[in-house]
Amino acid sequence: MERNNQKKHFVLIHGACHGAWCWYKLETLLTSAGHSVTSLDLAASGINPKQVEDLHSIADYYEPLMAFMASLPQDEKVILVGHSYNGLSISVAMEKFPEKISVAVFISAIMPSPTNSVVKIEEEDLALATKLVRPIGFFGNQDMLKETAVSDRKYGSVSRVFILCDEEDDIKESLKGMIAKYPPDEVKEIPGSDHMVMISKPQELCTYLQEIANRYS
């Protein structure tokens, strides 16, 4: 693919129990490089006013992302970045708005496939829960199956890149197994990075994201 160094729009989605605040270093680097950045708080996260008790389904949780994607002009494409648990949320956005996403980047994240349900992934990768810093609402299997289902036609039409963090020995093999079941276009690994790579290695992550954006935009 030819490189395209024009200004890009990055949409950053935090992991479970975190908020838009976790991207503060990366957001500064990307905006300093001339890009547009939107970092969202999902429901009951960060400074979003909702409480966990207000969420009745996972669709309530990721609704701020869906509302944002719906608000984008039809001719605008974004680079959608999801961390950890919220590989789920960006996957739903890919299924609903594939035409508005130039590439999706999964950072040490849950990455479902049309043949591997999120319920199976959660059962296999419970170690991800050890990374959570606060309690989060969990939803029933039927709700998860219904609200996070993805298809080859829509979700599968969006380019995907997976970023591994090399100091996550406890979950890296599980993540590699998930990747093998539905391989993305590329897999990258950031040396010396832990799960919160946007804080521990923001410059390296920023460089990777700009390279990815240039290749897929």
Question: Is the Cβ–Cβ distance between 178 and 134 less than 8 Å?
Answer: no
Name the nearest CA neighbour of 87 among 169, 213, 174: 174
Question: Is the Cβ–Cβ distance between 109 and 166 less than 8 Å?
Answer: no
Question: pLDDT tens track of the chain, all 217 residues?
Answer: 334 568 999 999 998 888 999 999 999 999 999 999 999 999 988 888 888 888 888 899 999 999 999 999 999 999 999 999 899 999 999 999 999 999 999 999 999 888 876 554 444 444 444 444 444 555 556 767 778 889 999 999 999 999 999 998 878 888 998 899 999 999 999 999 999 999 999 999 999 999 999 999 8
- What is the Cα–Cα distance from 120 to 84, expressed in whole angstroms? 16
Pick the CATH number of 21-216 from 2.40.50.100, 3.40.50.2300, 3.20.20.70, 3.40.50.1820: 3.40.50.1820
Whole-prediction pTM:
0.88
Domain boundaries, the chain: 21-216
